[in-house]
Chain A
Amino acid sequence: MHSDSIATNASNMPMASSNAKDFAKKKRMNRSAKLKQWKLDARREQWLSQVGIDTVKNKGRKEESTGRGIDGPLTQVGRRVRAMEKLEIRSRGEEENDGGSIHHDSDSKSPLNSPMSHTGSVLGGNDSGTNFTGSSSSSRSSSSSSSGGCCSGSMSEEDEDGEDGCLDDWEAVADALAATDEKQQLHANSLDTASEDKNVARFDSQPVSSIDISKAKPGAGASVDRTSVNCRAWRPDDAFRPQSLPNLSKQYSFPMNSDRHYACGASVWVCKNAASTPKPCPICYEDLDFTDSSFLPCSCGFRLCLFCHKRILEEDGRCPGCRKQYNYDPVEGEATLDGGSLIYRLTRSCSMITRS
């Protein structure tokens, strides 16, 4: 499936894969580094404030405005449009400054980052990308984490284990600061494509994209990078290429019984730290694997393996723990929103795996 092709692609590109390994290693070393993440966040904030004062005063304001847009999902679309105009202007200005290719790349990371803006995702990758700066910075400054924020957090962490310059550069998606070594560039590119990948996936349907990520999840730290490498193959027309995805989505939805289940599962795939200690399924007494132990089909908290869950759905469909009917039909609107938070949780869990 997806991950297979990823693997082959990765092996075709030794550079990327070795990088990925490096990252994984570093990440493992950073295992207990929630603390460190906080420190980094602090540094980011510091830097942001510096930039706000010193270099680009306008931008700071823009970021804030987009950030607010995310805070209020209802008004978001309108704000987004405005913000995009501003940011387009801004990015042009950046290009004048120093070629700006990197900034473009980092800009288009946004889709990752705007889970709630599903409605707006019809826009091209670059357009929706404008949202990124806003949301990511807002997530950092407000320390409420959106998916992109989380993801970018771990990435940047790898990027500059030693040098702060890189951190700042990538982080704020800033303008100036030219110093960019090759590795970073590569990284930025891959990030770019990765985000586009997810963007496209979201075009197709929310559940699929979530599955996509969940598949990538076990790949540890390298997964994100690899995904990106893979996506490069169909990057050029990605934004308007939802036709290719139905195939993928079929593959993905095949073993998963029913899409609606996924959609309803909004909160289903919550990551569990407990994944490290396998518990037996209370129904069949087989050990729960990681996917199973992340699977929370009922609000009562009763966990069981996917096989038993499927079996129960085939029969009366009641939770063994509380005897209530499993929820089948999600509310349409909620599904979109929930899909967003879903993505967030998965990215979150992704980083957790690599660390633990």
Chain B
Amino acid sequence: MVDLARVQKELQECNRDVEVSGIRVSPKADSLTNLVGTIPGPLGTPYEGGTFKIDITLPDGYPFEPPKMRFATKVWHPNISSQSGAICLDILKDQWSPALTLKTALLSVQALLSAPEPDDPQDAVVAQQYIREQNTFVNTARYWTEAFAKTSSLGVEEKVQKLVEMGFPEDIVRSTLEAVGGDENLALEKLCSA
């Protein structure tokens, strides 16, 4: 059973200093076991200026077991799967400690963005690029940040307009946007696959 009292307190404490840390955690729905965290891209990295969403699922054993975290925003990073968003980070696996919190874990993820570990890659392609063609890597990562991590700052109407301009019917665009929680890119993916 998840320690809901602890989760609630964590959410309170984390959201208390959002201005300082920039890290936000909020429940996805009514249940406190599915959360969404957002972290700003670290300054001085290709991820600067982006806001990255992370899906958090709390296992029953939390906080004695690590939370399951996955990037919902697409990221170009050696330790993050460019396909699934899976994160390769020790504290989310065997190095988890119950003394860590969602906020500290997200901070660690943020630190991972600024300090890639190509020797222990999650995405081999990205890692290869990071090692062999540093410039290409930086450019790609910056492009992905621009493309996927910055749109969330747009208002709903702007997103709708943008998608309508692409040739989708407005009502479908609106319902799709709502269904994916306002994420423009997810909506686009869905619209394209529909």
Mark A residues whose CB is within 8 Å of B.
282-286, 302, 308, 311-312, 315, 318, 320-321, 323
Contacts and interface: CB of A to CB of B under 8 A. Distances in A.
Interface string B84-108: 0000000000010111000000000
Contact of B99 (A282, A311, A315): A282
A284 B6 contact: yes
Nearest to B95: A323
- The 3 lowest CB-CB distance pairs between A and B, nearest first, are A320-B99, A320-B97, A320-B98
B3 A284 contact: yes
Interface residues of B, number: 10
Contacts of A308: 98
Nearest to A315: B64
Interface string B1-31: 0010110010000000000000000000000
Given A282-B99, A285-B6, A321-B97, 10 more contacts: A283-B6, A283-B63, A283-B98, A284-B6, A285-B5, A285-B9, A302-B99, A311-B64, A320-B99, A323-B97
A238 to B, nearest CB: 44
Q: Name the residue in A285, A312, A315 with the highest tally of chain B Cβ atoms < 10 Å from its Cβ.
A: A285
Nearest to A308: B98
A282 B6 CA distance: 9
Contacts of A321: 97, 99
A312 B95 CA distance: 14
16 contacts: A282-B98, A282-B99, A283-B6, A283-B63, A283-B99, A284-B6, A284-B63, A285-B5, A286-B5, A308-B98, A312-B98, A318-B97, A320-B97, A320-B98, A320-B99, A323-B97
Contacts of B9: 285
Q: Name the residue in B3, B5, B97 with the highest tally of chain A Cβ atoms < 10 Å from its Cβ.
A: B97
Nearest to A302: B99
B95 to A, nearest CB: 7
Contacts of A284: 3, 5-6, 63
Contacts of A282: 98-99
Nearest to B5: A285
A21 B98 CA distance: 44
A301 to B, nearest CB: 12
A284 B95 CA distance: 19
A321 B98 CA distance: 9
